[in-house]
Chain A
Amino acid sequence: MKYVDEFRDSDLIGRACDEIRRLAEPGRHYRLMEVCGGHTHAIYRFGLKDVLPENIELIHGPGCPVCVLPMGRIDDGLALARDPNVIFAAFGDMMRVPGAQGSPLEHKARGLDVRIVYSPSDALKLARTNPDRHVMFFAIGFETTAPSTALTLMRARAEGIRNFSVFCNHVTIIPAIRAILDSPDMRLDGFLGPGHVSTVIGCRPYEWIAATEHKPIVVSGFEPVDMLQSIVMLLRQLREGRSVVENQYTRVVPWEGNRAALRALAEVFELRPYFEWRGLGFISQSALQLRDAYAAWDAERVFRVPGVRVTDPKAAQCGEVLKGVLKPHQCKLFGRECTPEHPVGALMVSSEGSCAAYYNYEHRKTAASLRVLTPA
């Protein structure tokens, strides 16, 4: 299949791995963080750890929007959906994420009107076709999905559609990276930068990481060849003692980002003073809220929001895993109390969460099963 197969090509993968082995200095341990949940998923999905040398350690970063959403926000959104006039619309990603009283899917089973949509504009379409109901779109995601929410709100305002609102949980990636770097127990050698977020924000917002934190960062695509090439680029910088922002994902990511999308974000959203991240705590100016001009479409102002706060169980070590201090299987609850079917902690809920990815793809591998296989 075009645009996929060439980035999963065995020869290219083999050559990239050879180059990684050549560049990685024996006796040195490399700790590289992939920021994005899509990268974490791809690492396990494609078994990339099996082909990397042992001294390259990939640390899973905070870039899974479902994972970092505090449970209280889900409860708040679902509380509003108890109004029988409200249709609760969200991406499939959210549907199994548990709140304190269950996930959106479980609420649907109890009779709430919960719908899966594939884009915010589908939620607006629902509002048009259900003029007697109120459609609340539960918005999640980094700068990747925020522009489509912004454009949908601009459309709703232009058309004067008043039975539509957005419960905004959009977050921004840079403050999360800063929180990781500020963490005292964090030792990182470099970053695989988020690919899809960068299609919107471009590469410039990462320059401080290279300039003041002296960490190389390579914005990376999501296919095996992309990620291995990005690791090669990081190792080259480390070997040469450089730290700059580089763009591996040039086929998708423009250096300056997507100006039209950035304009839409600026038109509709402003930064919240602070926002709670699951596992990381409160981070200032790390999330988006609707500007006053869009107050009539802001579910947090249209409805009375309970403002639920739910603390994660003490035994769950999500924060440590999220910051890369612990591996998923080193958490006390991993695979016992906490599984993808019954997630306790944030990182087990989305298939892009590092715990779920590790659980689904990795943890039952045994040494004996990992002899390299070739088709019969």
Chain B
Amino acid sequence: MAHGAGGKASRRLVDGLFAPLLFDSGQPALGDRLSDAARVTVGGAPVAITTDSFVVTPLVFPGGSIGELAVNGTVNDLAVGGARPVALVTTFVLEAGLPTDTLAAEVRAMGRAAREAGVAIVGGDTKVVEHGKVDRLYITTTGIGQPLAGVSLSARLVCPGDQIILSGPIGDHGITILLARGELDLEADLGSDTRSVFPMVEALVTAAGPSVRWMRDPTRGGVATSLNELALDSGLGVHLFEESIPVRDEVRGACELLGLDPLHIANEGQFLAVVTAEQASRALDAIRAAGGAGAVIIGEVRDEPAGAVLVATRYGGTRIVDMLVGDPLPRIC
């Protein structure tokens, strides 16, 4: 299970099994080893391509449902890969006996999310499997996008001194799902943050162009896992200022109760960007004006500690924040 949780084991699965067996050079053709979208050339034109599968319990939760996640998740992978999302194809795997109403509601949710994100759903496939072989409904979406001009993204371009921007408060999605499962007898006025981040990405790239060096949407494994990947891929250290990291009280409260770190909790509508120090405030203004009102600089890149993420408190305490190991499990005793 840990291999699908987005943390260390997921990375090992890709680095250790998929990449050597599937990629000609043992590495993805272009871009970073583990970026969110790949680049291919079709008839001389560059195209970004990515795919993602969506499995979530419950199917519907405050702020969204699996259908919206399936659209926004793939749209966001294209966006943080520096591409304008153009079209999606989708695959449904359905459990025999799934009520038609449930499916219809999710298809409507996908249509709505696609219209909002300005992306076309142009095809799909459906499989039905025996009752009990899947949990109601799995959705896969594959998207293509048009790379934005004037920006080149890679962890290898990141330099000491670059600033780390986060588009808004973290942990909303993961904590919403945890509470929506109803096992905790906790209630909070909280919804998933699922949305397309492309408008913010486009505004950022328009404002800061080549000064944008790296982007990622911190989904499973949270901000900590994305930034650990940045640290590993760049060979540099990531410094975060704990006081600057926006976390809603509802999310903080749930995390305090359950012994979880908001930095490890999934997001579905935020993104991280590394921007040169000179352009950072311009970049921030652009993101804020395009839907990221809560965008802030949460830290910066330094030489040390190479390959790791360090969080500093205002009073001078520090800690290393690692990638998530497996799924976040609550601590009780």
**Interface residues in chain A, defined as those with a beta carbon under 8 Å from any beta carbon in chain B:** 1, 4, 8, 10, 13-14, 17, 44-48, 50-51, 65-66, 91-93, 95-96, 105, 108-109, 116, 118-119, 122, 140-142, 144-145, 224, 340-341, 350-352, 360-366, 368-370, 372-376
- State how many angstroms separate the Cβ of B331 from the closest Cβ of chain A: 5
Checking B1, B249, B259 against A1 with a beta-carbon cut-off of 8 angstroms, the contacting residue is B249
Asked if A47 meets B241 with Cβ closer than 8 Å, knowing A91-B332, A360-B322, A369-B302, the reply is no
Let me know if B318 and A93 touch, CB within 8 A.
no
Checking B320, B330, B331 against A360 with a beta-carbon cut-off of 8 angstroms, the contacting residue is B320
Contacts of B259 in A (CB 8 A): 351
Let me know if B332 and A362 touch, CB within 8 A.
no
Q: Mark B310-322, 1 if CB is under 8 A from A, else 0.
A: 1011111111111
Return 24 A-B CB contacts under 8 Å, by A number. A1-B253, A10-B313, A46-B313, A47-B319, A51-B316, A51-B317, A93-B330, A116-B330, A122-B183, A141-B332, A141-B333, A145-B333, A341-B8, A351-B259, A351-B331, A362-B319, A363-B320, A364-B305, A364-B308, A365-B318, A366-B305, A369-B310, A369-B318, A375-B243
Contacts of A374 in B (CB 8 A): 241, 314
Asked if A65 meets B305 with Cβ closer than 8 Å, knowing A341-B325, A351-B259, the reply is no
**CA distance in complex: A352, B331 (Å):** 9
Q: Which of B199-258 contact A (CB under 8 A)?
A: 237, 239, 241, 243-244, 249, 252-253, 256
User: Quick one: which of A4, A14, A365 has the most chain B CB within 10 A?
Assistant: A365
User: Quick one: which of A93, A364, A366, A372 has the most chain B CB within 10 A?
Assistant: A364
Let me know if A376 and B241 touch, CB within 8 A.
yes
**CA distance in complex: A350, B319 (Å):** 17
**CA distance in complex: A333, B241 (Å):** 32
Checking A10, A141, A369 against B239 with a beta-carbon cut-off of 8 angstroms, the contacting residue is A369
- State how many angstroms separate the Cβ of B70 from the closest Cβ of chain A: 25
Shortest 9 CB-CB contacts between residues of A and residues of B: A47-B317, A92-B329, A141-B333, A373-B312, A361-B319, A368-B304, A91-B332, A369-B304, A375-B241
Asked if A47 meets B331 with Cβ closer than 8 Å, knowing A340-B325, A341-B325, A351-B259, the reply is no
**CA distance in complex: A369, B310 (Å):** 8
Let me know if A105 and B326 touch, CB within 8 A.
yes
Query: For the complex, is B71 an interface residue (Cβ under 8 Å from A)?
Result: no
Let me know if B333 and A91 touch, CB within 8 A.
yes
Residue of B nearest to A16 (CB): B315
**CA distance in complex: A4, B262 (Å):** 15
**CA distance in complex: A140, B332 (Å):** 10
Query: For the complex, is B184 an interface residue (Cβ under 8 Å from A)?
Result: yes
Residue of A nearest to B311 (CB): A47
Asked if A369 meets B305 with Cβ closer than 8 Å, knowing A50-B316, A375-B243, A375-B244, the reply is yes
**CA distance in complex: A364, B237 (Å):** 10
Contacts of A14 in B (CB 8 A): 315
Dominant SS at the A interface?
loop
Asked if A361 meets B320 with Cβ closer than 8 Å, knowing A369-B310, A373-B239, A375-B243, the reply is yes
Q: Mark B72-100, 1 if CB is under 8 A from A, else 0.
A: 00000000000000000000000000000
- Tell me the count of chain B residues lying within 8 A, CB to CB, of chain A: 45
Residue of A nearest to B248 (CB): A1
**CA distance in complex: A93, B328 (Å):** 10
Contacts of A144 in B (CB 8 A): 333
Q: Which of B291-308 contact A (CB under 8 A)?
A: 297, 300, 302-305, 307-308
- State how many angstroms separate the Cβ of B271 from the closest Cβ of chain A: 19
Residue of B nearest to A363 (CB): B320
**CA distance in complex: A362, B317 (Å):** 11
Let me know if B297 and A376 touch, CB within 8 A.
yes
Checking B241, B243, B333 against A66 with a beta-carbon cut-off of 8 angstroms, the contacting residue is B333
Contacts of A364 in B (CB 8 A): 305, 307-308, 320
Let me know if B332 and A109 touch, CB within 8 A.
no
Knowing that A116-B183, A361-B319 are A-B contacts, what are 5 other residue pairs whose CB atoms are under 8 Å apart, sorted by A's residue number? Answer: A45-B319, A118-B185, A144-B333, A224-B317, A373-B312
Let me know if A92 and B332 touch, CB within 8 A.
yes
Let me know if A224 and B320 touch, CB within 8 A.
no
Checking A92, A105, A340, A363 against B330 with a beta-carbon cut-off of 8 angstroms, the contacting residue is A92
Let me know if B244 and A369 touch, CB within 8 A.
no
Residue of B nearest to A115 (CB): B183
User: Quick one: which of B9, B259, B310, B317 has the most chain A CB within 10 A?
Assistant: B317
- State how many angstroms separate the Cβ of B168 from the closest Cβ of chain A: 17
- State how many angstroms separate the Cβ of B208 from the closest Cβ of chain A: 16
Residue of A nearest to B277 (CB): A376
- State how many angstroms separate the Cβ of B224 from the closest Cβ of chain A: 10
Checking A91, A122, A341 against B9 with a beta-carbon cut-off of 8 angstroms, the contacting residue is A341
Let me know if A224 and B315 touch, CB within 8 A.
yes
**CA distance in complex: A91, B310 (Å):** 29
Contacts of B239 in A (CB 8 A): 369, 373
Residue of A nearest to B302 (CB): A369
Query: For the complex, is B51 an interface residue (Cβ under 8 Å from A)?
Result: no
Contacts of B270 in A (CB 8 A): none
Query: For the complex, is B50 an interface residue (Cβ under 8 Å from A)?
Result: no
Query: For the complex, is B163 an interface residue (Cβ under 8 Å from A)?
Result: yes
Let me know if A47 and B314 touch, CB within 8 A.
no
Contacts of B319 in A (CB 8 A): 44-47, 360-362
Checking A96, A108, A360 against B329 with a beta-carbon cut-off of 8 angstroms, the contacting residue is A96
Residue of B nearest to A95 (CB): B329
**CA distance in complex: A119, B256 (Å):** 17
**CA distance in complex: A301, B333 (Å):** 25
**CA distance in complex: A108, B1 (Å):** 10
**CA distance in complex: A360, B237 (Å):** 16
Let me know if A369 and B237 touch, CB within 8 A.
yes
Contacts of A360 in B (CB 8 A): 319-322
Contacts of B318 in A (CB 8 A): 47, 50, 365, 369-370, 373
**CA distance in complex: A118, B254 (Å):** 13
Contacts of A118 in B (CB 8 A): 183-185, 330, 332
Let me know if B310 and A96 touch, CB within 8 A.
no
**CA distance in complex: A122, B307 (Å):** 42
Let me know if A4 and B252 touch, CB within 8 A.
yes
Contacts of B315 in A (CB 8 A): 10, 13-14, 17, 51, 224
Asked if A376 meets B300 with Cβ closer than 8 Å, knowing A140-B333, A341-B8, the reply is yes
Contacts of B314 in A (CB 8 A): 10, 374-375
**CA distance in complex: A350, B325 (Å):** 12
- State how many angstroms separate the Cβ of A34 from the closest Cβ of chain B: 16
Contacts of B8 in A (CB 8 A): 341
